[in-house]
Amino acid sequence: MSEAISAMNHFSLPGAGRTEGVLGTSLTYKAEAAETGGALACAEIAVPPGVGIPLHRHRDEDEAFYVLAGRVIIEGDGCGDGGVSLEAGGFFYGPRGRIHGFRCGGPETARLLVLVTPGTGTGAMFAELAELGRRMGDRMDPAEVVAVCGRYGVTFTRP
């Protein structure tokens, strides 16, 4: 029986889940790879105004974003010059290998439910980025962020 099939059912109650700061966002895990047999990771991400994740691509994972509150601008492959604006109820799917990025597009913090499949590399990458943020604070070196992400097959397409 495969790991994904043999994984136990997993529940996450409102307000539950490990939370960490990653690149200016607050990420609360709803399901981690260890809880899903590696099949997926799921997190709620709070993205404050003016914050976002630059254009990048994943070698190994697909990502899906569902907007819970606020507004986000999704940029990248197939999104046009100004990106696509999504409000609560909006959805974005970014398959592995495709360039995408996002940022809060409104005056209030946006909240996203993000699903990553498979979920095996992202949790470790986010944990390293959170540790880097704790160590360096506002003086985080972009080259170190690029190096951490590169170890997990995530590459940025511009600085």
Query: Tens place of pLDDT for every residue, the chain, 159 residues?
Result: 444 455 568 777 788 788 999 998 999 999 998 888 889 999 999 999 999 999 999 999 999 999 999 999 999 988 888 899 999 999 999 999 999 999 999 999 999 999 999 988 888 898 889 988 888 877 778 899 999 999 999 999 875
Confidence (pLDDT) at 133: 87
Confidence (pLDDT) at 4: 47
In the chain, where are the structural domains located?
Answer: 18-156
Confidence (pLDDT) at 2: 47
Is the separation of the CB atoms in 41 and 7 below 8 Å? no
Confidence (pLDDT) at 138: 72
Contacts of 81 (CB under 8 A, 6+ apart): none
Does the domain at 18-156 match CATH 1.10.10.10? Answer given as no
